[in-house]
Amino acid sequence: MSTLTLLVPGMTCRHCVRKVTAALRDVPGVQLVQADLTNTTVVLHGEPAVGDVVAALDRAGFPGTVIPAHGERRMPTDTERAAGA
């Protein structure tokens, strides 16, 4: 099982955490969602498509940034965003 970490700066309260978590649970391939309000990060366990994850966050009103395993942050590409549309 792989992990995908995202920075979700708009996730600022418990209600936001619930909304983000609910949106991400519905993404195909996601097995577990772990949200950290203090660091505004979400760790996904499973094999979701990045484009689907980004699209789900956008639909929920919480754009996110993928944090690659080595710690550098990057914005999703247009292709990744379009894949979830």
Task: Kindly indicate the confidence band of residue 84, based on its pLDDT and cuts at 50, 70 and 90.
Answer: low
Question: Domain of 62?
Answer: 2-83
The number of domains in the chain is 1
- What burial class does residue 39 get, using C-beta atoms within 10 Å of its C-beta: 0-12 exposed, 13-18 middle, 19+ buried? exposed
Q: In whole angstroms, what is the distance from residue 52 CA to residue 61 CA? A: 14
CATH code for the domain of 34:
3.30.70.100
**Average confidence (pLDDT) over 40-67:** 95
Side-by-side strand order, sheet with 2-7: 30-36, 41-46, 2-7, 65-67
pTM, entire model = 0.79
Q: Rounded distance, CA 73 to CA 67, Å? A: 5
Q: Tens digit of pLDDT for each residue in 2-30? A: 999 999 999 999 999 999 999 999 999 99
Distance of CA 19 to the CA centre of its chain: 12
Tell which wins on pLDDT, 85 or 82.
82
